[in-house]
Structure 1
C-alpha cells in the first residue's frame, strides 16, 4: 500500500473551494475511473486499488490517496498530476 498526501493552501471562499475540489474530482474520475461522493466537506473517492479523500479545511485543501499494490507503481506520476491540478484550481493566476 502506497500513500500520497498533498496539501494546497488557498484563499478561496468555501463555495469556490468546493467548486475547485469538484474540478479535481472530475479530472481524477475521468482519468482513473473513480467514483466520487461528498460527505460534508470531504470528497471521498474510490475504485479497485485506489481510495482517498479531499478534505476542505478553511484555507487549505488536503488530499490523501491510498494506492494498492498494482497502482503503487504509478504513485509518482499520479502525485505529480494531482498536485498540478490542485495548484491550478486552488490558486488561480
Structure 2
C-alpha cells in the first residue's frame, strides 16, 4: 500500500479555497467515480482502492491519499494527475 501527501499554500480566502477544492472534487468525481463529503473544512473521499482527505485552513491546502494494493502500481499516474488538478485549482 502507498500514500500520496501534498501540501500547498493557496493564497486565497478560505471560501475561495473551498470553492476551488469543490471544483476539483467534482471533476474527480466525474472522471474517477470518486465519492466525497465535507465535514467543516475537511473533505473526505473514497472509491474502491483509494481513500483520502483534503483539508483547508487560512493559508494552506493539505491532501492525503491512501492507495490500496490494486492501485499501488498506478501511484505515479495518480500522483501526476493530482498535481495537475492542484496546479489548475491552487496555482502557486
Bin of the TM-score, shorter chain as denominator length: over 0.9
Tell me how large the CA RMSD over aligned residues is. 1.2
Q: Aligned partners of 1:11, 1:5: CA distance in 2, in Å?
A: 19
For the pair 1:60 / 2:42, whether they are aligned, the reply is no
Q: Which residue of 1 aligns with 2:11?
A: 11
Aligned match of 2:31: 31
Taking structure 2 as the reference length, what is the TM-score of the superposition?
Answer: 0.93
What are the ranges of 5 or more consecutive residues in structure 2 without an aligned counterpart?
Answer: none
Structure 1 runs, 4 residues or longer, greater than 2 Å off:
none
Deviations 1:8-27 (A, max 9, x none): 21110011000010111112
Greater CA drift, 81-90 or 10-19: 81-90
TM-score by length of 1: 0.92
Q: Number of aligned pairs?
A: 92
Gaps of 5+ in 1: none
Distance 1:90 1:76 in 2: 20
